[in-house]
Chains A and B, each alone.
Chain A
Amino acid sequence: MRELQSYQGIRVGDELPELSQTVDQAMIDAYADASGDINPLHIDPEFAKTTFFGGTIAHGLLTLAFVSRVLSQWNWQGWAYGGELDVVFLGPVRPGDEVRVSGALELIEQRADGVYARCSLVCHCGGKAVVKGFAVSKL
């Protein structure tokens, strides 16, 4: 494994395309329907009021769908064929929040089967990070 500073015009420090997505209850409900994940914490305001969160929150995996949109746009081939994602959920996304997904290349490495980029990732709601981690994509 060998570290590179750049590869075919892509450099360490380059930023990924940024994405902003507003999440509302209708989107959360639609995702619950599409995914089959009908945990009442996401779709039942009365139940959600009784929980630690005090109201409904979006599915964590809905937020990751936005991350996947960014990586698909940036490097579809490398993301869909061999891409890796490793994230921690730090806080909730609530109806009405705008999720901002951003990331940057922190490492380019030559492996036995090709060149890979490791990108730091963060999703913010307002000034608060709600998801943090990294993705690996083949270049």
Chain B
Amino acid sequence: MTSYVKYNSMTEGEEFLDPPPSFQVSKEVVKKYLQSTQDVTVQLKQTTEVGECLAPPMLAAVYVIDALRTRVGPPGGIHGKQQFKFHRPAYIGETLYTSAQVLKLYEKKGRHYVEMATQTTNQQGELITTGMITRIWGQEP
């Protein structure tokens, strides 16, 4: 079983992705995402004026979750809330870096909640996505 992070081991304000992990926006990653979500948005099949191919805004769900993999709770945890701001779409071929911080830790109705803020930039430091995620932590045995 994959190792997981215990709720009590986290602290508010902790920046836990240092250095921020990288994520390659490849053609294959985008193709798999579009197929699995049945997204046929026309603009994603075109290239920009300078020949770049765009990734869907919600690919953020892939690279942000990938970055947060070092802060995964026990199996059974779920998403409570999600905020994203899409500054611009990522291009195929870009390398993205996501930094993250634990914002808030709290308990409600006997369950643990973890709020995290994320910021994703490309290899040149251009802002791609910012977000906030609230996870309901899985029950620890």
Which B residues are within 8 Å of any A CB, using their own CB?
Answer: 29, 32-33, 35-39, 41-43, 54, 56-58, 61-62, 65-66, 69, 75-89
Contact = CB atoms under 8 A, between A and B. Distances in A.
A89 B80 contact: yes
Contacts of A84: 83-86
A98 B65 CA distance: 25
Contacts of B82: 60-61, 64, 85-87, 89
Contacts of B69: 36
Contact of A79 (B39, B57, B78): B57
- Chain B binding site: helix, strand, loop or mixed by DSSP? mixed
B21 to A, nearest CB: 12
Contact of A36 (B35, B62, B89): B62
B75 A47 contact: yes
A83 B37 contact: no
A88 B81 contact: yes
Given A69-B39, A72-B56, A89 B33 contact: no
Nearest to B64: A61
B65 A89 contact: no
A36 B43 CA distance: 25
Nearest to A88: B81
A27 B38 CA distance: 9
Interface in A55-87: 57, 59-62, 64-66, 68-69, 72-73, 76, 79-87
